[in-house]
Amino acid sequence: RYISTFRPSVKCEVAKNKAQWKTMGPAKVAIPSPKNFLQKHSKEPKLPARKKEQDSKKLPTLSVPRRTDHPFMGIQSKKNFINTNAVAAITGLPKKPQPIYVDRRQGDKYLLETSGLVPKYIKKKDYGVTPKYVTQRKEEMKRAQKEYEGGILEHLKKRAMKRLSDEERRSLLQGLKKNWEEVYREFQGLSVEIDTIPKKIYKEKLESQMKQLEHDIEVIEKHKVIYIANE
């Protein structure tokens, strides 16, 4: 039978690392004394002792009559309650029935006032009047827009920017369109079959010029206010 040469060293390491009573054996705790046994009601919470009320503190007045109090006897009233009740019923105004609504023919009844069907909102004094916060917000927006425009003008003045007039913008737009028509005419004049490198380069050049002119025309048509730097 094969026996490993490391068997004795393994046995020594296991014996060194083994602790007594690690998984079995008696626990190392103090043995409870037999005098400290569990008594009845010992685990119930104990309330603090009640303090005696001081003589200086007066008891609050009770609304309930005391046991020694006696009612007043012999008090009579000459009021005729029958006649007074009859006069009050005759002269009193009848109660108006509360407006109600039902969900179906033999359904439950609900109060009409709290249902939301009565248009109470249109009877308000400020109905149809613009709220104050809306007007204040509009004024603040206008003020902020003016300040922004003023800041832009000052910034443009510092950078020596010039605004194009409507006539200059119109003439510039017409010139760009005229240049695009000339480039497009040259593009239309190309041969159908482009088989040489110079022809391909010339065609790509015309296409790039047309795209750039179309982009410039679109920008000018989109923006009505244009600023340019003074030279």
Q: In this predicted structure, what is the pLDDT of residue 231?
A: 56
Number of structural domains (the chain) is 2
Q: Would residue 122 count as lying in a domain? A: yes
Q: Would residue 208 count as lying in a domain? A: yes
Q: Would residue 197 count as lying in a domain? A: yes
Q: Would residue 109 count as lying in a domain? A: yes
| Cα–Cα distance, 158 to 161 (Å, whole number) | 8
Q: In this predicted structure, what is the pLDDT of residue 1?
A: 82
Q: Are residues 149 and 104 in the same domain?
A: yes
| Cα–Cα distance, 11 to 184 (Å, whole number) | 99
Query: Residue 82, CB half-sphere, CA atoms under 13 Å: how many?
Result: 0
| Cα–Cα distance, 103 to 204 (Å, whole number) | 77
Q: Are residues 166 and 224 in the same domain?
A: yes
Q: Would residue 127 count as lying in a domain? A: yes
Q: Are residues 153 and 168 in the same domain?
A: no
Q: Are residues 169 and 193 in the same domain?
A: yes
Q: Are residues 174 and 193 in the same domain?
A: yes
Domain coverage including residue 114: 100-160
* Residue ranges of the chain with per-residue pLDDT less than 70: 19-28, 53-60, 62, 158-161, 229-231
Last residue of a domain, one of 144, 160, 176: 160
pLDDT digits (tens, 9 = 90+) for 32-46: 888 888 889 888 988
Structure tokens at 219: 């920008």
φ/ψ (deg, to 5) at 109: -100, 140
Q: Would residue 152 count as lying in a domain? A: yes
Last residue of a domain, one of 160, 175, 206: 160
Phi-psi region of 38 (alpha: psi -120 to 50; beta: other; left: phi over 0): beta
Q: Are residues 147 and 194 in the same domain?
A: no
Q: Are residues 154 and 168 in the same domain?
A: no
| Cα–Cα distance, 180 to 212 (Å, whole number) | 9
pLDDT digits (tens, 9 = 90+) for 130-160: 889 999 999 999 999 999 988 888 877 766 6
Q: In this predicted structure, what is the pLDDT of residue 134?
A: 93
Q: Are residues 215 and 203 in the same domain?
A: yes
Q: Would residue 86 count as lying in a domain? A: no
Q: In this predicted structure, what is the pLDDT of residue 116?
A: 81
Q: Would residue 39 count as lying in a domain? A: no
Last residue of a domain, one of 109, 136, 160: 160
